[in-house]
Amino acid sequence: MAVPKKRTGHSAQGKRRSNWKATKPTLTTCPNCGQAVLAHTVCTACGTYKGKPVRLKDQAAANEVKEEKKTKKSTKKAKAEEGLNETPKAEVVEETKVEEVKAEEATEDKAE
C-alpha cells in the first residue's frame, strides 16, 4: 500500500483546494406564476413543472378543463356533421343554378 513519505503542508493543501468551492444555485422564473424557482424543480407556489401541473389537486383541475374542451369540440363536430347531412353542398349548387336559369327565362319573356 502506498504511503506518503512526508505530510502535506497547510499551504500546499490550501492551494490544491483553491478551486473547490460552492456555487450559487441557478434560479429561473416560473412560466405559470413568475416566481423565482430553482432550475429543474417544481414551483412551490403554483405546483407546476415546465408549464404542466404536478400536484394531484392541480392535475385534477387540469383534467376537468381538458374534458370540457373535448366535449365542446365533440358538440361542434356533431353540429357540423348534422348541418352537412341536412343540406349537402352539391344540392345547394344545383338549386342555385335552377333558380338562375328560371330568372334568365323570365327576363327573356319580359323582353319579348
Is residue 106 domain-resident? no
Is residue 60 domain-resident? no
Is residue 33 domain-resident? yes
- Give the span between the Cα atoms of 4 and 58, in whole angstroms: 59
pLDDT at 88 > cutoff 60: no
Which residues, at least 6 apart from 47, have a Cβ–Cβ distance to it below 8 Å?
53, 54, 55, 57, 58
Q: Which domain holds residue 40?
A: 25-54
Query: Average pLDDT, whole number, for the chain?
Result: 78
Mean pLDDT of 57-68: 70
Is residue 46 domain-resident? yes
Proportion of the chain above pLDDT 70, given as a percent: 66
- What is the total count of domains within the chain? 1
> Model confidence at 85, in pLDDT bands (50, 70, 90)?
low
Instruction: Give the tens place of pLDDT for each residue, 11-58.
Output: 999 999 998 888 899 999 998 888 999 999 998 888 888 888 887 666
Is residue 85 domain-resident? no
Is residue 42 domain-resident? yes
Is residue 4 domain-resident? no
